[in-house]
Amino acid sequence: MAFRLALLSNRLFSTTTVTSMLLKDKAFIDNEWVNGHNGKTFEVINPGNGALINNVPDLDVNDVQKAITAARAAFLTYRDTTAKQRSDMLKRWHALLEKNKDELSKILTLESGKPLIEAQAELHYGNSFVEWFAEEARRSRGDIVPSPVSTKKLFVEKEPLGVIGIITPWNFPLAMITRKAATAIACGCTCVIKPAEDTPLTALAIAELTIEAGFPKGVFNVITSSANNAPEIGKLFCESPLIAGVSFTGSTMVGKILYQQSAQTLKRLALELGGNAPFIVFNSANIENAVKCAMGAKFRNAGQTCIGANRFLVQEKIHDEFISKFCEAIKKIKIGDGMKEGVTLGPIINKKQFDRIAKLVEDTKNEGGKIILGGNALKNIGELFYEPTVIVDVTREMKIYHEEIFGPVVSVVKFKTENEATFLANDTRSGLAGYIFTEDTAQMQRFSKTMEVGILGINEGLISTAEAPFGGVKESGLGREGSHYGMHEFENIKYVCLGNL
Ligand code: ADP
């Protein structure tokens, strides 16, 4: 069914029209487009202008149980497919995702608010995981281990884990799904995917393409639910004996709930949680490069990324120069509706997040932080737009130093010595990403070693790619996504001993 939506703009924009076979209003279970058993729905809103995009089913645990049962039934045959068959299937899906890039980018921008140019970049990034794992599917292999006795032969085999429950956030509505689901499917697992309530439409759109790609029924299920039903569904994922593993990207708070709930079934968990990334600029840094990278690491997706630079730690001697050049670059940001040509910063995803960011800035001001740029809501553009903001003189006594900002707000701490920088960088329970800027190669080496993070960018702000492992240490999570390491999360190791030879 095709939908034609005329999205009335607020006073800033002209009418935006989307016609797409990919815009869905049903959940996807066992290759069928379905409503929930009670017929309830919830609204998906464009954060850029408050317009309704679509209504989708508000599934509850009864509906999700059906999806889990379908995924388990599918697993019993899907696990026997060959690596080559899975690879071919993922390649077909990849080709369709590429072919429909423009349409998918528009849906992604409508529901997430991110600028179209960033949505296109997400398509490029998200699709690359499907391509990568189509290739990795054929490279996952076991071992034949030399036996200590001549009458035995020892084999180590890789087997798919089973049904994977996938829960994703709204900040990368496509990539967070492809990064998990393509891996699971490459390994021979089936999945039940619960996208975030703010952004279920991209997930449903890519589900439509799995049909054309020839996915067997029950391999890829997308269940939509409102925020109200999310906790119950998460609990079901953790407790169901039919689910073998749960892969989650989202807040540390919810990650910890899932961890606790999984104790009873000892579920395999992959958790990609929040960060508090330090972005360290040393005296020896190339300031122009540091500023360029800071723009991407901070303002991509309006600062709503888990590897986003959260605390700028800037060494005393170059502090003022870096801040002044950074502010000049920030002033060039073009704020507005993501669909509008030239826009580089969109809205905050929803009111809850918006209010949290506004309060954090207000609190920092009251605690003694100095706002040197921005610091205001931009209600003239729309309800959820917040000015790019720079706060200096931040100290570790302030709340903003410890919290994941998840918004277009730069928080700057000045430091004197390298020891101080090491302390500040690791002075957090999070350990996802970190960035250092220095031209001193010995300093690079020292910091590669001391930074307590899963991902480190040296003189680079754009660090994530399908070929490299993504994941954190400390309370930023468990496991890795992407790269060949990503396959381990969805595989069991079986040792087979052939005896009496
Ligand atoms: P954020 O605060 O950034 O929205 P969340 O961790 O709350 O991050 O949300 C990430 C995903 O987790 C979303 O799909 C959301 O619906 C889901 N979610 C929220 N609460 C729970 C929960 N208690 N159990 C399982 N999933 C949850």
Share of the chain above pLDDT 70, in %: 96
Q: How far is the CA of 486 from the centre of ligand 1 (A)?
A: 22
Given the CA of residue 225, which atom of ligand 1 is nearest to it?
16
Q: Is there an atom of ligand 1 within 6 Å of 231 CB? A: yes
Give, using CA atoms, the residue closest to atom 14 of ligand 1. 196
pLDDT per position as a tens digit, 224-237: 999 999 999 999 99
Q: Is the CB of 169 under 6 A from ligand 1?
A: yes
Strands (E), 386-499: 389-392, 409-415, 430-431, 433-437, 455-458, 473-474, 477-478, 491-498
Position 48 scores a pLDDT of 97
Query: Please, which residues have CB within 8 angstroms of residue 332's CB and are 6 or more apart in sequence?
Result: none
Angle between helices 83-99 and 116-136 (to 10 degrees): 160
Question: Is 272 a known active-site residue?
Answer: yes
Choose the catalytic residue: 122, 136, 272, 404: 272
Q: Relative to the CA of 227, which ligand 1 atom is closest?
A: 16
Of 180, 304, 156, 149, the C-alpha closest to 247 is 180
CA–CA separation, 92 vs 115, rounded Å?
28
Q: Does the pLDDT at position 1 exceed 90? A: no
What pLDDT was estimated at residue 19? 58
Query: Ligand 1: which atom is nearest the Cα of residue 254?
Result: 6
Whose CA is closest to atom 11 on ligand 1?
Answer: 169
Residue 406 CA: which ligand 1 atom is closest? 3
For residue range 127-141, what is the model confidence (pLDDT) as tens digits? 999 999 999 999 999
The alpha carbon of 250 and the centre of ligand 1 are apart by a number of angstroms equal to: 6
Nearest atom in ligand 1 to 233's CA: 25
Angle at 166 between CA 163 and CA 168, to 5 degrees: 175
CA-to-CA distance for 446 and 345, rounded, in angstroms? 35
Interacting residues of 19 by C-beta distance below 8 A, sequence separation 6+: 2, 3, 4, 5
pLDDT tens per residue, range 239-275:
999 999 999 999 999 999 999 999 999 999 999 999 9
The model's pLDDT over 157-192, given as tens digits with 9 standing for 90+, comes to 999 999 999 999 999 999 999 999 999 999 999 999
> Dihedral angle at the C-alpha atoms of 296, 302, 307, 313, nearest 10 degrees?
70
Q: Summarize the confidence of residues 145-159 as an average pLDDT.
A: 98
For tokens 């605690």, name the residue: 367
Question: What gap in Å lies between CA 432 and CA 27, rounded to an integer?
Answer: 32
pLDDT value of residue 20: 84
CB 127 within 8 A of CB 354: no
238 is catalytic: no
173 lines ligand 1 (CB under 6 A): no
Going by the DSSP 8-state scheme, the letter that residue 196 receives in this structure is -
DSSP string, 324-372: HHHHHHHTT--BS-TTSTT--B---S-HHHHHHHHHHHHHHHHTT-EEE
Task: Pick the residue whose CA is nearest to atom 15 on ligand 1.
Answer: 196
Q: Is 260 in the pocket of ligand 1 (CB under 6 A)?
A: no
Whole-number pLDDT of residue 5: 42
Q: Is 234 strand, coil or helix?
A: helix
Pairing of strands 32-34, 27-29: antiparallel
pTM of the entire structure? 0.96
Which of 251, 256, 301, 404, when mutated, tests ligand 1's pocket best, judged by the most ligand atoms within 8 Å of its CB? Answer: 251
Helix (H, G, I), strand (E, B) or coil at 259: helix
Sequence-distant (≥ 6) Cβ neighbours of residue 320 within 8 angstroms: none
Q: What is the Å distance from ligand 1's center to 224 Cα?
A: 13
- pLDDT score of 18: 56
Backbone angles phi, psi at 169, to 5 degrees: -95, 180
pLDDT single digits (tens) 447-471: 999 999 999 999 999 999 999 999 9
Q: How far apart are CA 115 and CA 7, in angstroms?
A: 17
